[in-house]
Amino acid sequence: MLIDLLPHLVNGLTLGLLFALIALGFMLILGLMEQINLAHGSLFALGAYFAFAIATPRLPLPPDMLKIWAGVPLGWRYTAAILIAPVLVAPFGVVIERLMRRTYGRDPLYGLLLTFGIAMVLEDLIRAVWGTRDYVLPVPRDISGGFLFLDLIWSRYRFWAAAFAIAAIAIVWLVVERTRFGAMVKAGAHDSEIVQALGIDLKKLRTGVFVFGTMLAALAGVILAPIWGIRPHMGVDAVVPAFLVIVLGGVGSFWGAVIAGLLVGMVVGLSGAYASEWSLLSMYLLLILVVTFRARGLFGKKSVLEA
Amino acid sequence: MDARRTVPTLTPAMLVTWALFATLPFWIEPIGLYHYLGIEILIFATYALAYNLVLGHAGLPSFGHGAFFGIGAYAFGLAQFNIAPNLWICLAVAVLATALAGALVALFISHRRGIYFSLMTIAFGQVFWFVAMKAHAITGGEDGLLKIARLPADLGLTAIPLETNVALYYGVLAMFMLVSLGLWRLIHSPFGRVVKAIKQNEERARFIGYDVWACKFAVIVLSAALSGLAGGLFAMAQRSAFPDVMSLHYSGYIVMMTLIGGGLVSFWGPVIGAVVFFLARDLIGALTTSWMLWFGLLFVILVLFRPEGLAGLFEALRRKPPPAPVAAPDAKEA
């Protein structure tokens, strides 16, 4: 009985770690700017598309250069995609942050609307460049395929994705909790006036946080691409679980986001065991259930969302 | 309160709007467009007016309204197939079904505010959309409900057929006039003033003694029901019902229409927005396949520089001469 559930449990755990990874960048921006970035999903999608362009390779390079790059083993191209795609997406984050400046201090509704518009623009930009078809991000042989364990076939890639997500989450934790940058971000989220009075350039700090969040989103896009497939709609499929995880975990709580991410992943994974068609519905029901009884989420403190 | 201060039932703006729409079938083809576009615009104008009840008038930013529009469309089709192919019955079922769905959602979100309200509406919108996608047996899944008939308007003695685009257009126009008149009265009724008070300061409205929860509940249910009416008409117009209109994208489009038009500051803003949205879709769409890219940019610019929308822009141009300080606090509230 339990052994039948094990694959779903592991899948759920993997999905949960990835949800947490998507949500963390979203949360950093929400925490410091007090703005919901609905374009977060589009940055996630851009990460996946750029990685696809690097790995397959379909870069806008001169033909002979492209030929040389195509001759490089997939393992290297894939590694390059993971490293470079987030860097290529970062400028988009800078532009969004510049546009958002006008909405700081105003009703968060404007930030929500602004980023919704930006998400629409980016999604159509993706359609204009890459078309509406689905793509597959190729992964190196070492981390693809499946292996047999306990008479079950397990996907190697999912384990790799889970391990990668854990590492990325650990790095985010280190940055937020153990660096000066993280301390400034937390202080800025707590009281932006004091932070400015201390001589910290809040503008630069905000841009920095936005770039960090953008790169995390893009990174999550690269890692999730082989599981979800690359398609224009993937941004919405990512941003909705991200905000859901944040609300569920409680705004501003790092471990809240991680635990909520895992919880959402597990609920989706386990409900997939019984009703695979309906499994995604479970996360919305979970959110509605939790928020009905605990408006601030599981670990939330009082926040801008309650304004 | 002084009776003379109440807003007239029929205003010049209303009569002009109605007259423009009433003559539309005579001039829309000569200017290079087509009758069906008129139907789409009127249906979405009705929907946007209904939506603006929550966004513009009550200040509740719902991002899941597509669900109600879609439920209305499905209810209309299902009523036609399973209950009776009668226009009034089918529209009544569409309104009733969405009012019920609206009540269910409102139970959970009526005491929420601001962004939290938005997030909960996204969650509910996604739930309904998901159910519409997956409940193949009832909704036909992604294929949708097909072969929905354009039912004649049975008036007892005679029945007016609504088969052709022009006939249906006038049928939809009648509904649009009814809804806009009804909403106009509602907004300027004592109830409408309470709604406005809640938008400006919910806590203050509560302290004065208004039942804020019940008021928000009523606004959400009413807005949902009227969105469902528009959805029912849409099912009839396109002779089918699809889950598309319930997606987060479409829920966002109605927000965009309402805001671009100026729903935050003007009663007729949402109508302007619907017109602009569909004209942009057809005109920009004729030039490029990625029309949402350009429309989205327009929207982004508007949110940044003129959140009060096109209606607000007209207002600003009209009273340009002296910078009116009276308008300032109002703009801030919006």
What would the pLDDT profile of B170-191 be if each residue is shown by its tens digit? Answer: 999 999 999 999 999 999 998 9
pTM value is: 0.89
Dist CA B97 CA B69 (whole Å)? 11
Q: Place B327 in a pLDDT band, splitting at 50, 70 and 90.
A: very low
| Three-class SS state of B42 | helix
Which of B61, B63, B300 shows the shortest C-beta gap to A117? B300
Residues in chain A: 307
Dist CA B60 CA B122 (whole Å)? 13
Dist CA B108 CA B125 (whole Å)? 13
Question: DSSP character for A143?
Answer: G
Output the pLDDT for position B5.
59
**Cβ atoms within 10 Å of A292's Cβ, excluding its own:** 13
Give the residue among B301, B309, B302 at the shortest CA–CA distance from B272.
B309
- A278 interfacial to chain B (CB closer than 8 Å): yes
**Cβ atoms within 10 Å of A111's Cβ, excluding its own:** 25
- A123 interfacial to chain B (CB closer than 8 Å): yes
Measure in Å the smallest separation between the Cα of B40 and chain A Cα atoms: 21
Which of B118, B292, B300 shows the shortest C-beta gap to A124? B292
User: Residue B1 burial (CB < 10 Å; 0-12/13-18/19+)?
Assistant: exposed
Task: Tell me the pLDDT tens digit for each residue of B272-305.
Answer: 999 999 999 999 888 888 888 888 998 999 888 8
Nearest CA in chain B to A246: B119
How big is the CA angle at B153 (ends B151 and B154), to the nearest 5 degrees? 110
Output the pLDDT for position B1.
47
Nearest CA in chain B to A106: B332
Measure in Å the smallest separation between the Cα of B163 and chain A Cα atoms: 35
- B35 interfacial to chain A (CB closer than 8 Å): no
Output the pLDDT for position A49.
93
Tokens of B122: 């996204």
Which of A99, A118, A240 shows the shortest C-beta gap to B122? A240
Query: Cβ A117–B296 below 8 Å, yes or no?
Result: yes
ipTM of predicted assembly, 2 dp:
0.85
Q: Look at residue A59 and tell me whether its pLDDT is greater than 90.
A: no
